[in-house]
Structure 1
Amino acid sequence: MTSRLIIGCGYLGRRIAAHWYESSREVFALTRSTETATQFSKHGWNPIIGDITKPESVAPLPEVDTVLLSVGFDRHAGYDIHTAFVDGIQNTIAKLPSNISRLIYISSTGVYSQSNGEWVDEESTCEPQRPGGVACLEAERFLQQSRFSDRLVILRLAGIYGPERIPRMASIQKGEPISSPRHGYINLIHVDDAVQAVAAAGQYKKTPATFVIGDDEPVIRSDYFGFVAKKLNAPSVSFSEPEADSHVVSRAMADKRIRNSRMRMELGIDLKYPTYREGITAILESH
């Protein structure tokens, strides 16, 4: 049985753990919580308790074939995003056995800051402006210089949506104004298709490699919110200007369109949800 270790077993990581376990892989998953560790055990996964921002709390990590770094940022954890994304990754790499065959890092399309609706791909310039994008790019560069650089696959994911995770759904249902610019593109990927991408990255032979992971159709914000409202039979969406120093404004300044050609051709991904329309419809119909 081949084995997998997941560092960061949250919304995406849990689904990948389930996919690998169902594919007869032995799965190890790191968590800070004893309660979550109990849940992992019930699923048949091997929990490891520790906090990657506190390396002394993490026991020696197991020898596995593949490691997935899918670290999220918990705003309630008491540390900043750089500590989680950069220091945490560095601490993890120091703990890993040397004989793993594949290292997959979940990065973000936030490493791009293009702001005029340009198409971007793996070769586009990365000049992130927001803290999350800056931290992701710094983590990428650290991994590219690490002892695992020759077996590294970086996946720059667009915004993940899926069951219980439809952006702004609660506000739309209530008819509340959306505090966001109405214009500009957003890039999305359904969580099931993100799982596909990770699984394919685990089998990809031409490492090191970097892929942007998004669906086939970047969408203007107002079109996306309008579609969700229609599907919910909610009132027409209205917009309000966010505060000038709001994170919404800084996020909206990056107006780009993700080109997923390399993902499709080299990873061989056949998207289950090619656009937000299929994905949102399936989620809402299942409820």
Structure 2
Amino acid sequence: MPDLSAMIVGCGDVGGRLARQLLARGWQVHGLRRSVDQLPNGVLPVAADLAQVEMPAAWPEGSFDYLVYCVAASQHDEPGYRAAYVEGLRNVLSWMAQRAQRPRRILFVSSSSVYAQKDGAWVDERAATEPEAYSGRVMLEAEKLALNSGMPASVVRLTGIYGPGREWLLSQVRQGYRVAEEPPLYGNRIHADDAAGLLAFLLQADAGGQVLQDCYIGVDDDPAPLADVVTWLRQYLGITQWSDEQRVRRTGSKRCSNARARALGWAPQYPSYKEGYAAILLGQG
């Protein structure tokens, strides 16, 4: 599949992993971020601030086949989310319009925060989206902006991303923090490599003529109770002490399904937290 190209807006952790996977497949990759010196080798740099309405000087003049919008909000409140996901995307769509760029498809990287289901309910792409928090509401607004852009688009709702540098839970476990066992608090995870791998898979599938749907959930095969994850990590790490004062806290409890992505042919490299955390702790992932 020669001469394929992608613009990755937000070429940070997951975006950078995606870039490396695409480069290995022979793609041309543009990467947009503020600090382009942190881009992977081989990525064509586009230095830009998504908060700026004016087109950045480094925005390419030529066309590209795919746009992947994969940003992370630097300010974790409603204005920060709106600036990153809604206004930033609106600016990028404007820049493309000014250059008459119409990619084959837009991939908008969203979040499972759009789902408010609780009590361990199973969730797939057809489930109701009635988020209670601002993060989910803003994500839904941004999803609609992408889907109504006039170009083919799919949203990818990633669940809790973990991997090297994303080790909050490991830190909690090492300090002996507790988590409630009953009722079970189901959590959903995807290793950062698998998050990037799913995006790469969808791009390759679309380029190969497969029909993509407008939404996919990015999650591993095992939405497990958080207490089970903590117990396994404690045993793996040999942690025996407990903290009496602090606990691992989570809100909500749902189980996300990756059946739609799997039906297309995707499979996670790390099917559960066990393989993923073991690779991190062995320095392999």
TM-score, length-scaled by structure 2: 0.87
Return 122-131 or 75-84, whichever deviates more. Answer: 75-84
| Structure 2: tracts of 5 or more residues without a match | none
Work out the CA distance in 2 between the residues paired with 1:187 and 1:76.
Answer: 21
SS at match of 1:113: coil
SS at match of 1:185: coil
Task: Kindly report which structure 2 residues correspond to 1:32-111, keeping only aligned pairs within 5 A, or say none.
Answer: 32-33=34-35, 37-40=36-39, 43-56=41-54, 58-59=56-57, 60-62=59-61, 63-75=63-75, 80-96=80-96, 97-111=100-114
Change in 2 beyond 3 A, CA 1:186/1:239: farther
Structure 2 counterpart of 1:222, which letter?
A
Pick aligned residue for 1:284 from 262, 281, 285: 281
Change in 2 beyond 3 A, CA 1:104/1:239: farther
SS at match of 1:223: helix
1:157 and 2:158 aligned: yes
Structure 2 counterpart of 1:130, which letter?
A
CA apart distance, 1:235:
2.9
Instruction: Name the residue aligned to 1:200.
Output: 201
Instruction: Name the residue aligned to 1:233.
Output: 238
Work out the CA distance in 2 between the residues paired with 1:284 and 1:19.
Answer: 23
CA apart distance, 1:8:
0.7
Instruction: Name the residue aligned to 1:245.
Output: none
Structure 1 counterpart of 2:195, which letter?
A
Change in 2 beyond 3 A, CA 1:211/1:77: closer
Deviations 1:71-126 (A, max 9, x none): 10113899511111111111111112432112111111111000111001010000
Work out the CA distance in 1 between the residues paired with 2:8 and 2:280.
Answer: 26
Change in 2 beyond 3 A, CA 1:233/1:25: same
Task: Kindly report which structure 2 residues correspond to 1:1-287, keeping only aligned pairs within 5 A, or say none.
Answer: 1-33=3-35, 37-40=36-39, 43-56=41-54, 58-59=56-57, 60-62=59-61, 63-75=63-75, 80-96=80-96, 97-148=100-151, 151-175=152-176, 177=177, 183-202=184-203, 203-204=205-206, 205-236=210-241, 252-266=250-264, 268-286=265-283
Change in 2 beyond 3 A, CA 1:119/1:76: closer
Structure 2 counterpart of 1:121, which letter?
D
Q: Tell me, yes or no, if the aligned pair for 1:158 and 1:187 is still in contact at 8 Å.
A: yes
Deviations 1:222-277 (A, max 9, x none): 111222222222235557677xxxxx97xx332110111111002x1122111111
CA apart distance, 1:168:
2.1
Identity of paired residues, percent?
A: 30
Work out the CA distance in 1 between the residues paired with 2:263 and 2:146.
Answer: 25
RMSD, aligned CA: 2.4
Work out the CA distance in 2 between the residues paired with 1:110 and 1:52.
Answer: 22
SS at match of 2:190: strand
Q: Tell me, yes or no, if the aligned pair for 2:124 and 2:256 is still in contact at 8 Å.
A: yes
Change in 2 beyond 3 A, CA 1:214/1:77: closer
Structure 1 counterpart of 2:72, which letter?
G
Work out the CA distance in 2 between the residues paired with 1:146 and 1:109.
Answer: 22
SS at match of 2:260: helix
TM-score, length-scaled by structure 1: 0.86
Work out the CA distance in 2 between the residues paired with 1:264 and 1:172.
Answer: 31
Q: Tell me, yes or no, if the aligned pair for 1:158 and 1:213 is still in contact at 8 Å.
A: yes
SS at match of 2:54: helix
Q: Tell me, yes or no, if the aligned pair for 2:220 and 2:271 is still in contact at 8 Å.
A: yes
Q: Tell me, yes or no, if the aligned pair for 2:164 and 2:280 is still in contact at 8 Å.
A: yes
Work out the CA distance in 2 between the residues paired with 1:154 and 1:120.
Answer: 16
Q: Tell me, yes or no, if the aligned pair for 1:181 and 1:241 is still in contact at 8 Å.
A: no
CA apart distance, 1:2:
1.7
SS at match of 1:55: coil
CA apart distance, 1:135:
1.2
Change in 2 beyond 3 A, CA 1:101/1:275: same
Work out the CA distance in 2 between the residues paired with 1:222 and 1:134.
Answer: 29
Change in 2 beyond 3 A, CA 1:78/1:255: closer
